[in-house]
Amino acid sequence: MKASLGLASLCAVSILAACGGADKPQAAREAQGTQKAEPAALSLGREDIWVAGRSGAAATAPVLTGAIQAERRADLRAEVGSVVQRVLRDNGEPVKRGELLVKLDDAAIRDALLSAEEALRAAERSFEGAERTFQRLKSLQAQGMSSVQAMEDAEVRRNLAQSEQVAAKARVATARQQLERTEVRAPFDGIVASRKVSSGDTATMGKELVQVIDPASLRMEALVPAERVGELRVGQAVKVRVQGVEPGQRYTVREG
């Protein structure tokens, strides 16, 4: 009887020991199952960040591509056909109003001016002689010492000489104007944006010689997508980056 109780006790201890060994791995597995995995690192861009107080959805300002143009500019062209004698300013150089930029050869125009001035002097002498003759015959005719026909003929010659004098003055004025046009000057203070010719080039009438701009009038022109127009407002500050000019440099302008 005692032996049977001892055997039963030993079996019970064995069973309890077996159960205890089985419970420990199961609890460890359950504890490991309830432990959460570390989340992966999340990378955020500016477009993913929303600042409290701003209206609208989270978004960045639109990035636009456009061209910078000067609102005030002058394309100076040749007003006479001639050879370029000198170019006094290059691209990017500042200029003052009235400053000489390009000089065209004026030898032929000076010769034409001298000829026109000489013709004017001859026309003036001719008119003065015809006027004196007419006045003399007019006086004689009033005294009955000259015929009416002679006085009328003298008047016709006087009028023709006067017309020639007027035409000669016009030719002189034209030659002087042409001479002035051989000097191309800056119309306002600014910079040379584009030089189109060099010394020795032939400049035909209408050929572009140089472009002058006012840097204070520079403006950027760009197209805004229709769905993003609402993000802009008049007077808003805009950051502008110019390709090829001071890499990394940004400029602040105002939307107009």
- Whether residue 185 lies inside any domain: the answer is no
- Whether residue 247 lies inside any domain: the answer is no
- Whether residue 127 lies inside any domain: the answer is yes
- Whether residue 228 lies inside any domain: the answer is no
Residues 169, 153: Cα–Cα separation, whole Å: 25
Q: pLDDT tens digit string along 122-165?
A: 999 999 999 999 999 999 988 888 899 999 999 999 999 999 99
Domain span holding position 168 = 106-179
67 or 192: which leads in pLDDT:
192
Q: pLDDT tens digit string along 111-121?
A: 999 999 999 99
Query: For the whole prediction, is pTM greater than 0.85?
Result: no
Any idea what the CATH number is for the domain that residue 139 is in?
Answer: 1.10.287
For the chain, the first-to-last Cα distance in angstroms comes to 111
Query: Quick one: average pLDDT of 24-37?
Result: 51
154 with 132: CB under 8 angstroms? no
- Whether residue 149 lies inside any domain: the answer is yes
Mean pLDDT score across all residues of the chain = 80
Q: The tokens of 231 are what?
A: 């993000």
pLDDT at position 235 is: 79
- Whether residue 155 lies inside any domain: the answer is yes
| Domains of the chain: total | 1
Q: The tokens of 15 are what?
A: 């069973």
Residues 180, 107: Cα–Cα separation, whole Å: 12
- Whether residue 192 lies inside any domain: the answer is no
- Whether residue 53 lies inside any domain: the answer is no
